[in-house]
Amino acid sequence: MSQERSQSQSPRSPASAAGVPFLSISVTDPVKMGTGVQAYISYRVITKTNLPDFEGQEKIVIRRYSDFEWLHDRLAEKYKGIFIPPLPEKNAVEKFRFSKEFIELRRQALDLFVNRIASHPELKQSGDLKIFLQADEEKMDRERSYETGIFKKPSDFLQMFKDVQSKVSDVVLGKEKPVEESSPEYEKLKNYIFELENHLAEAQKQAFRLVKRHRELGQSLADFGKAIKLLGACEGDSLEKVFSEVGSKSEMLSVKLQREADNLLFNFEEPLKDYVRAVQSIKATMVDRANAFRQHHDLFQQKEYKGVNLEKLKFVNPDKFSELEAELTADSEEATKRFEHIVAVMNEELARFQEQKTADIGLAFHEFAKGQAKLAKDIADAWRGVLPKLEACST
């Protein structure tokens, strides 16, 4: 891949009638930077908007995967209850990491990630999104390396991920015995999410097999086309011409199968894979909900338990009693509000998720059926065209 970026114009912004706000973001122009183990892909992120909170109507910045990861983690920490759009997987097999196909799949997924944030009614107002879209590379590096008690070192993220995985298994699945939410509505939601993940993962696996089968069949047709042409040349006379046409049809269909394999990969398998990742985001939010419920319950229990002991203090030191009682009440109420907020936000997010899922998966299956129908017609037309000549040879 060239180290030079193209100078082509950025994608056209949406039509913007006077007074109609818009925010258009494109992740484009991936370029390999560095060599060896230090190599990475950078992207041009183009923002076009008429929103007053942004610095001008167009901004172009260079970002790498870790910058997108920074944005995801900041939003996940600050917006509890919201399903943060998923990122594509960070790691890949080394020999495929810089393949043209892998880079394009990742670019497409990153573009989808940032545009989902920009279209979300709350996330699009995030100051972190504005930093991501507008900060120069030096400032972005500082923000990414910023470290507090909340935002840990990059080396800590692996452990944080393992902790989340453990909590998903123990808390959400109910393997851990400490108190957990057990309302019928929440149990129904948990069952649905885990079933959805399993079915999506299976559908994605079978879609991958379809892609692989199309590519294998395409390669087989290409090999067959070459072989049948050589056979015709060996035979000579009328067979050579007929076999040459059969070989050409095979090679032509090979190209069509390879193209349809690419179409399946980008427009069918990848959307299914994206929704498998989206379910992981929902499960991470369920972990936040479980933790909030546990804290709410524990503080309520603590208030009840300490309340008994506080009664003794009431007569000894009334001022201290009032202070401690107010503190316990405030902590308990804050935990209750936090839990109720997450529940309310999750309900809104689920409705939004279902609506978007129906549209996206419906489109993916429509593209799948349309591509398969066209491919079947092309195959039928190709072989139908050579039938008369083959029949003439056989009589």
The proportion of the chain whose per-residue pLDDT surpasses 70, expressed as a percent, equals: 78
Residue 3 has pLDDT above 80, yes or no: no
Distance, CA of 314 to CA of 316 (rounded, Å): 6
- Pick the range with the lowest mean pLDDT from 5-19, 52-66, 375-389: 5-19
pLDDT bucket at 179, cuts 50 / 70 / 90: confident
| Domain at 188-394: CATH code | 1.20.1270.60
Q: How many angstroms separate the CA atoms of 366 and 99, rounded? A: 28
Region(s) of the chain under CATH 1.20.1270.60:
188-394
> How does residue 238 score in pLDDT terms, banded at 50, 70 and 90?
confident
Task: List Cα–Cα distances, 196 to 142, 271, 283, 347, 368, in angstroms.
Answer: 39, 14, 11, 17, 20
Q: Which CATH number does the domain 23-136 belong to among 3.40.30.10, 1.10.760.10, 3.40.50.11890, 3.30.1520.10?
A: 3.30.1520.10
Tell me the pLDDT of the chain averaged across its residues: 84
pLDDT the model gives residue 210: 97
Say yes or no to pLDDT of 154 above 70.
Answer: no
The confidence score (pLDDT) of residue 8 equals 36
Label residue 104 by pLDDT band (50, 70, 90): very high
For the cut 50, the answer to whether the pLDDT of residue 155 exceeds it is no
Q: What is the pLDDT of residues 280-308, one digit of tens each?
A: 999 999 999 999 998 887 776 665 555 54
**All CATH 3.30.1520.10 domain ranges in the chain, comma separated:** 23-136
What pLDDT does residue 196 have? 97
Residue 32 dihedral angles phi and psi, to the nearest 5°: -80, 130
The answer to whether residue 197 scores a pLDDT higher than 50 is yes
Residue-level pLDDT at 383? 96
Question: Mean of the pLDDT values across residues 40-69?
Answer: 93
